[in-house]
Structure formats: C-alpha cells, structure tokens
C-alpha cells in the first residue's frame, strides 16, 4: 500500500491481452479492459487484490447471470475489439475507433477522449490531486474527477429533485422512505450507480457505471475545496473501484442503450401489465376484505373503468394487526379460490404483496431459523431487524435453500390459487449491524455488504417461481426496491410518494432519471400514496400524467382513511374513466416501446434534451417529456391551469393529437389543457400505433390505427407495432408479427405502405391511417389497398386493407 507522502509509479506489465495490467512496486495494480469500441473498464486495486464479491450486474446482451454471480474478470459476451496500445516513460495510451484513454504512469490518472465528427474531444480527467485512495484516508473506495461548469449529469436511478444532478450530493442506501419528498428526500429505494455526462458545447457525452453493491455516495459538484479545483466524486463503503466508461457521441441515448445492454436484456412482460392496476391498502385491511375487494369489480363495471389487474396489499396476510408473508387471513378471505376466480372471470389478475422478513412470531419462523434460511449473526442467532409491525429477521437469498423455500411458498400460497403475479415489497434489506452474516453460497460475508444483492435475488426467486409454475406464460412481477439488473426481472415504481402537486412535478423527473439509468418499465403511485387525499383536480391531473407511463396504478394509504379510486370524486369520475380509456388507446404504442426496450435497449421515457441535444432550449430542466421518439407529453403540474405552454423542439413540425393542428418547431405555444385532454403532440416523421376499438369494462377489442404527421416537404415517416398473443412465451420461438408503416412525402402526393410480417397470424386485415385533416395530398398505396378516405373535424382517416400473407 502506498504511503501518505507518495503516489504509486506504475509500469505496463501486461499488454498482449485483455486486460492491460499496470503494476507498482508498492503492490498497487490497475487493469484496463477494452470491452468494445465504445466501452472501456478500469479496475483499481490498491493492494493488488480483489476485495469485492462477484458481479450480478454485468450480463451483456443476455437475460441473466449465474445465480452465484459472474466472475469479475469474465469476458464472455464481449466481442473481440481492435485497439492499439502505445507507451513511453510517462504514459500509456489505449485507443479504439471511438475512445482514446491516456493513463499517466505517475499515479495512474486517466484522461479520456471521444472521437466525434473526426475530432478527438477531451471529455473527462481524473482529478490531479488524490484521484484514488492509495492509502490516503481509510478503507473506503474513492474516485475523484475534474468537473466542467457546463456539464449536465443525468441518471443515478431513482433520485429526488431536478433531472440535472449537477451541484447536488446523493447517497445510495436503500431505505423505506415512506411519504418522501420527491423534491428533496435522499436516499430512496434504489441503488443504480450509473450516470450520463453530457457536454453541450461539443455534443459529446459518456456514461460512468460503478459496479458495486456497497452503499455509496455521489457528489456532483456540491462540495468545493480550494486545494483541488472543481471536481465531482464517488465513494463506496467497501469493495473495489471498478468502473465502466461508455462513450456517447452525438446523442445522450447511446450511453443509455449501451449501459442497458451491458447489464442485461429488459424483461418482456405480458401485455396486460400495461393496463390499469387497481390498488389500495384499505380493502385488504378491512375485516370484510373479500367483500370490499369484490366491490371494486362492481364499481369498475358501474363506472365503465377498464382494468386488467389489482395489487393485493399485505392486509390479506394479517394475524391481528400484524402481517405475515404467505399467510392468508381466512376470516377476511373465507373462500380464496372463489375470490381469485371472481377477479379472473372479469379479466382482472391479482398481484399479491410479499415481503422478505419473517416476524419473530411468524408461523414459519422456527422452521426457517432451524433450516438456516435467515440472515444470522456470528453467533448463529437470527440477525434481528426492525420491520413494519415488529422485530423480525430477513430471509437470506444468498442461500440456495432459502430460494427453494421461497419459490415453494410463492407457488403454494399464491399461484396455486390462481394469483397471477407477485408484488415484491418492503425489500430494502435494512441491515446495519456488523455481526450479521449472509450465507454467500457457502462463503459467508457481512450481510450489510450485499443488501442490494438480497433484493435482486429475491425478485429473481419470485420470477423463477412463476416461470416454473406456469412455464408457457411470461412472468409479471413488480418490486419497489432494487439495483442494477432489476430490469431483467420486474416492473417497478417510485415507492410511497407524498400527495402534493410538488410530488407530481418531481416524480415526472424521477421517472426520466430512472429511464436514463436503464430501467424503463416504471411508474408512480397515481394520486400520491401517503399524506392527505388528493383533491379532485390533483387526482385528475395525476391520472392524466400517469396514463403515459409503462406502469399505471392508482394506490394510496391516505391519512384520513379515504381511498384513491377512479370514482373517488363524482365530479371528475367521467374524466378519469375517459383518461383510462385513452390509456388503453395508447397501449399498442406502449407495448411496442417496451418491445424496443427489450430488443434494442431503448428507453421508453426520455428527457427532451436526450431526443434533441442540439436544441439549447431542451437543455432546460422543464416539465415535459418524450414518450418514445414519437410523442411529446406536457402534463399540467400546477393547480388551476386550463392551458399549457409548451416549447416545441426546433427542426421538426409537431401535431396536436386533439385538434389535428400542426405547428413549426422552435417556438413556445399555448394549448388548451382541459382535465380530460392531456397535452400530447406527434412528432413529424413518426407514427404512433393506437387501438381505436370502442371498449368497455365487460368488452375488450383491438382495432389498429396509426396516427402520422408526414413531412411537409420530402421525407419518409415511419412507425410500427409488435403483435403477439400478449402473454405466452411463444414469442421465443418466433411467434410474433409486426405492422410496419412508411409514408413517403412528395410535393403533391403521399406514398403509403402498410405491411404485416412475421409468423404470428394477425387478427385483422385492415388498419386506419390518421393524417392531419389539413393535408390534402393524394395518397398512393404502394402496399395495401386504400378502401376509404374521409375527413372529420381533426383527422383525415384512411382505411387500408392489407392482403393476407
């Protein structure tokens, strides 16, 4: 270990293979892995030895990692990359077609450049003073970097506050942050140590991912110290400095895609997971819970609220006032099978709450303790923690026996009754004591060093239980807590938010940050979970925002005992019902966006600057977002508003979904924003897939349309939608189809092509194509037959018959 008055002097000791290895006489070691043209990894080992565990984060382009984790020097999944290495007495230079890395032999400091438009742009440098911890301070892991004043920092997963993290400090320590402030609370539920740096002046950016399970801290320029200049830094409580540099020239989205690829393929979940999911703690906490739950179905029918699932809160497990996972309260639910069947008969699936902690008086506690399934102390006793209702002990998912036990309980207690999915909740694994040990697959280590791993393995065990029970069906499950890799298993949400207009505004930014951190299948508790009941306007505005998110669930535990329900306020119930039907109209587009997330690692939600990095106005942290590349959504996040000012990014035209009016980009416009008509604008050159069938709670149908804004001049607009059975695993063997639409604009004509490809048989032989009502150009069908062409108040609607394959 280096002494306090020196820094290590490295030599290049291995340069023929991958990694390159630099060593110092003091025992320090640096390893440089060239993983792709745009990805280089640096591993810094102050004493030459690995101290961190295996990795469960790295899964390049695959569905999962081994249950026991992946060796940190495993290069499988990475293609061999051409690169050059040169060195002299002062430095080593590693260069790919995209990245040039210079490592100073005196101290190991790294300087990074990215090739963009034929020019090498310096983008990142280690701080010249004490960039790493070579014995300067303590046993923690440090990385200090220089900071530019004009940089944007976006990501770090689920964080409160502004989308741009510059000037802030964050702690990643998963906790149960009940009633948090979406503007200021930190830490929260998730542990995702990845962020994007974007440098607008050169239109260049990069991602940094620190592969650690440790509690860690990020300072993005809040701290200032005269001795070091402007800097930002990362600190981990234990482990190694093991980070990935991901080049992102020209577009911020490149690094997001590559980070998502690096950490595994997002789960392809059933289509019903995009429907409205009812939820409240009130129903299952009631003494007559089964009756209260059945009333929900009746109210959906009464108010014609479309619904596909219901999140069954933990009250179903109660004994007295406390909750016991996998236990059914038979007084509340006297006929479990009839209850579940009643929901399924109405097309509503149940997603049951499960928790990873057994209270000390749980009926299974003695059995689990005797079998060694719990996290234990050095003395072999259960490692007691404070849980929701009582003292208990966490199950230890680093023990294969625990995983087997958990899967059996999920199947016996839930799936065997017809429950469709699992809601993995309260799984932050808040373990703080030094004497608690994790099983570690037979190699115990302090449990507090792997809290995030426990969460990942819990959700994986739940998914595997569902896969094994119903192998022909795609698993659907949700988890509140998580870390890097959670997107391979679950849908998630932003936890127990506080009911306020401020939460609405900042949850929007939180969801964007999560999507830019590789986790796209997410949402929020619509209406707010904790605190006062939302007033009618706030509830309606929450719904009008929530319908655009991959997860759409109204959930609450209001202080006054009221329940956030679609029919909560009669004066806005028709509005809420209409908004939910709008959500169902958009499901083909949302479903396709989730397919693009799975297949091409595309984020579903996008900040404006991510789609339009060259427009300076889009760099401003606003309240708008892109839903995929095609749709601009501008929620109302302030009370008393009936209009909404929207800045339209420059370089393209935009079309109001509601009026059919087209607008030039590069200007701010004011649009009507009634409660039932959220502001949404189509982007020129893109098509949005819709389901235009009339649907009711009792009747579902699917009729495809594409809303398109063709280019005013010349250009080709494109869009499509994935088609399959919506829930089975047949897609893995190719049982999928796809609609593809192209619309080539010329001065006086539009050349339209609508084709269907794939082995999954389509249920329809015609689609509608919606164009702006003002576009009177002649339409020529290249593929498909134009059956009708009519104009209503807002749209020109073409019916196109597609010949059978």
DSSP 3-state percent helix, strand, coil across the chain (nearest 5) = 20, 35, 45
Task: Determine, yes or no, domain membership for 682.
Answer: no
| 435 & 479 share domain | yes
Could you tell me which residues are beta bridge partners of residue 789?
798
For 277-308, write each residue's pLDDT tens digit. Answer: 999 999 999 999 999 999 999 999 999 999 99
- The crossing angle, in degrees rounded to 10, of helices 336-345 and 289-303 is 10
Whether 525 is in a domain gets the answer: no
Largest CA distance in the chain: 83
Give the three-state DSSP class for 683.
Answer: strand
Which residue has 């709670």 as its token pair?
Answer: 697
Which residues in the chain come in under a pLDDT of 50? 1-5
Range of the domain at 188: 10-262
Q: Is residue 547 part of a domain?
A: no
- Whole-number pLDDT of residue 358: 98
Shared domain check, 311 and 288 = yes
Residue 220 placed within a domain: yes
Q: Report which of 273, 270, 302, 291 is spatially closest to residue 342, judged by C-alpha positions.
A: 291
Structure tokens belonging to residue 128: 């010249």
Per DSSP, what are the bridge partners of residue 207?
Answer: 196, 246
In a domain, 574, yes or no: no
Given CA atoms 161, 166, 168, 170 in this order, what sign does their dihedral have? Answer: positive
Which residues have C-beta within 8 Å of that of residue 75, sequence separation ≥ 6? 18, 33, 35
DSSP characters over 585-639? HHHHHHHHHHHHHHHH---SEE-HHHH-TT-GGGGS--S-EEETTTEEEE---ST
- CATH at 36: 2.60.40.1760
d(Cα 100, Cα 84) in Å, to the nearest integer?
A: 9
Residues 244 and 354 in one domain: no
Give a yes or no: residue 763 inside a domain: yes
Could you give the CA distance from residue 247 to residue 257 in angstroms, rounded to a whole number? 11
Peptide bond into 187 cis (omega under 30): yes
Mark which of 201, 230, 262 sits at the end of a domain. Answer: 262
**3-state SS string over 283-318?**
HHHCCCHHHHHHHHHHHHHHHCCCCCEEEECHHHHE
Domain boundary residue among 200, 230, 262? 262
Whether residues 157 and 239 share a domain: the answer is yes
Q: Strand 737-745 to strand 715-723: parallel, antiparallel, or no bridges (unpaired)?
A: antiparallel
Cis ω for the linkage preceding 19 (within 30 of 0): yes
Let me know whether 199 and 287 are in one domain. no
87 Cβ neighbours under 8 A, 6+ residues apart: 12, 15, 93
Classify residue 745: in a domain, yes or no. Answer: yes
Whether residues 168 and 282 fall in one domain: no
DSSP-assigned letter for residue 762 = P
* Residue 37 resides in a domain: yes
Count of CB atoms situated within 10 Å of the CB of 701? 11
pLDDT at 804: 66
Inter-residue contact 308 to 277 (CB < 8 Å) = yes
- 146 shares its domain with 290: no
pLDDT of residue 764: 84
Looking at the fold, whether 213 and 285 belong to one and the same domain comes out as no
Residues 374 and 398 in one domain: yes
Domain limit, last residue, from 493, 525, 542: 493
Q: Tell whether 258 and 282 lie within a shared domain.
A: no
Structure tokens at 151: 């940089």
User: How would you class 286 by CB atoms within 10 Å of its CB: exposed for 0-12, middle for 13-18, buried for 19 or more?
Assistant: middle
Our count of domains for the chain comes to 3
pLDDT value, residue 6: 56
| CATH number assigned to the domain comprising residue 458 | 3.20.20.80
Q: Is residue 281 domain-shared with residue 228, that is, in the same domain? A: no
**pLDDT on residue 624:** 98
Residue 796's H or E segment, with its range, is: strand 795-801
Model pLDDT, residue 433: 87
Dump pLDDT digits (tens) for 554-600: 999 999 999 999 999 999 999 999 999 999 999 999 999 999 999 99
- Within this chain, do residues 377 and 279 fall inside the same structural domain, yes or no? yes
- 221 sits in the region (left: phi over 0; alpha: psi -120 to 50; else beta) called left
407 with 464: CB under 8 angstroms?
Answer: yes
CA 800 to centroid of chain Cα atoms: 36
Which CATH number do you get for residue 713? Answer: 2.60.40.1180
């Amino acid at each position: 270990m280096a002494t306090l008055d020196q820094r290590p002097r490295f030599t290049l000791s291995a340069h023929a293979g991958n990694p390159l290895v630099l060593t110092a006489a003091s025992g320090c070691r640096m390893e440089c892995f060239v993983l792709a043209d745009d990805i280089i990894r640096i591993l810094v080992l102050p004493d030459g030895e690995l101290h961190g565990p295996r990795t469960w984060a790295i899964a390049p382009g695959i569905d999962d990692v081994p249950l026991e984790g992946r060796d940190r020097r495993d290069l499988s999944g990475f293609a061999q990359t051409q690169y050059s290495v040169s060195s002299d007495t002062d430095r080593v230079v590693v260069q790919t077609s995209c990245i040039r890395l210079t490592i100073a032999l005196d101290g190991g400091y790294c300087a990074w450049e990215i090739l963009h438009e034929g020019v090498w742009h310096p983008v990142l440098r280690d701080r010249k003073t004490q960039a790493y911890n070579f014995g300067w301070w303590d046993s923690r892991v440090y990385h200090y970097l220089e900071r530019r004043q004009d940089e944007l920092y976006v990501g770090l997963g689920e964080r409160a506050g502004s989308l741009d993290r510059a000037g802030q400090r964050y702690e990643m320590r998963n906790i149960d942050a009940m009633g948090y402030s979406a503007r200021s609370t930190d830490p929260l539920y998730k542990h995702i140590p990845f962020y994007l740096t974007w440098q607008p002046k050169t239109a260049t950016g990069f991602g940094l991912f620190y592969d650690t399970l440790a509690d860690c801290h990020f300072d993005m320029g809040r701290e200032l110290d005269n001795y070091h200049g402007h800097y930002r830094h990362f600190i981990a409580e234990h482990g190694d400095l093991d980070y990935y540099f991901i080049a992102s020239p020209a577009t911020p989205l490149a690094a997001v895609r590559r980070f998502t690829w690096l950490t595994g393929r997002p789960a392809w979940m059933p289509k019903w997971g995009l429907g409205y999911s009812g939820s409240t703690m009130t129903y299952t906490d009631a003494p007559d819970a089964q009756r209260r739950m059945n009333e929900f179905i009746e109210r959906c029918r009464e108010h014609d609220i479309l619904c596909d699932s219901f999140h069954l809160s933990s009250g179903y497990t109660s004994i007295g006032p406390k909750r016991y996972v996998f236990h059914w309260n038979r007084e509340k639910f006297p006929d479990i099978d009839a209850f579940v069947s009643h929901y399924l008969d109405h097309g509503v699936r149940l997603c049951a709450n499960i928790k990873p902690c057994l209270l000390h008086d749980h009926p299974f506690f003695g059995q689990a303790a005797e079998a060694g399934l719990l996290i234990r102390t050095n003395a072999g006793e259960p490692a007691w923690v404070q849980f929701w209702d009582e003292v208990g002990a966490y199950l230890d998912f680093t023990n294969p026996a625990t995983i087997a036990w958990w899967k059996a309980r999920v199947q016996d207690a839930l799936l065997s009754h017809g429950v469709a999915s699992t809601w993995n909740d309260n799984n932050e694994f808040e373990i703080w004591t030094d004497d608690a040990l994790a099983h570690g697959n037979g190699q115990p280590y302090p449990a507090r060093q792997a809290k995030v791993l426990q969460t990942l393995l819990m959700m994986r065990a739940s998914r595997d239980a569902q896969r094994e029970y119903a192998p022909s069906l795609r698993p659907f499950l949700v988890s509140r807590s998580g870390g890097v890799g959670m997107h391979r298993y679950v849908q998630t949400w932003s936890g127990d938010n506080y009911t306020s207009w401020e939460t609405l505004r900042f949850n929007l930014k939180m969801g964007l940050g999560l999507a830019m951190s590789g986790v796209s299948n997410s949402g929020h508790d619509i209406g707010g979970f904790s605190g006062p009941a939302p007033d009618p306007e706030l509830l309606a505005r929450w719904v009008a925002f929530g319908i655009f998110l991959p997860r759409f669930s109204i959930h609450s535990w209001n202080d006054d005992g009221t329940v956030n329900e679609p029919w909560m306020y009669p004066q806005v119930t028709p509005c809420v019902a209409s908004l939910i039907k709008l959500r169902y109209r958009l499901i083909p587009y949302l479903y396709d966006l989730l397919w693009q997330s799975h297949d091409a690692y595309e984020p579903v939600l996008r900040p404006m600057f991510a789609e339009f990095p060259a427009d300076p106005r889009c760099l401003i942290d606003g309240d708008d977002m892109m839903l995929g590349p095609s749709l601009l959504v501008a929620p109302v996040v302030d009370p008393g508003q009936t209009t909404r000012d929207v800045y339209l990014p420059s370089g393209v035209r935009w079309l109001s979904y509601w009026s059919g009016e087209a607008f030039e980009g590069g200007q701010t416009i004011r649009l009507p924003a009634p409660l039932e008509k959220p502001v949404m604008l189509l982007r020129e050159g893109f098509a949005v897939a819709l389901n235009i069938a009339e649907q009711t709670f009792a009747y579902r149908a699917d009729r495809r349309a594409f809303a398109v804004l063709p280019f005013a001049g010349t250009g080709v607009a494109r869009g499509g939608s994935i088609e399959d059975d919506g829930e089975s695993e047949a897609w893995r063997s190719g049982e999928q189809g796809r609609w593809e639409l192209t619309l080539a604009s010329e001065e006086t004509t539009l050349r339209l092509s609508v084709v269907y490809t794939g082995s999954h048989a389509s249920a329809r032989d015609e689609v509608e194509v919606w164009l702006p009502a003002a576009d009177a150009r002649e339409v020529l069908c290249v593929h498909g037959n134009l059956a009708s062409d009519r104009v209503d108040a807002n749209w020109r609607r073409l019916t196109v018959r597609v010949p059978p394959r």
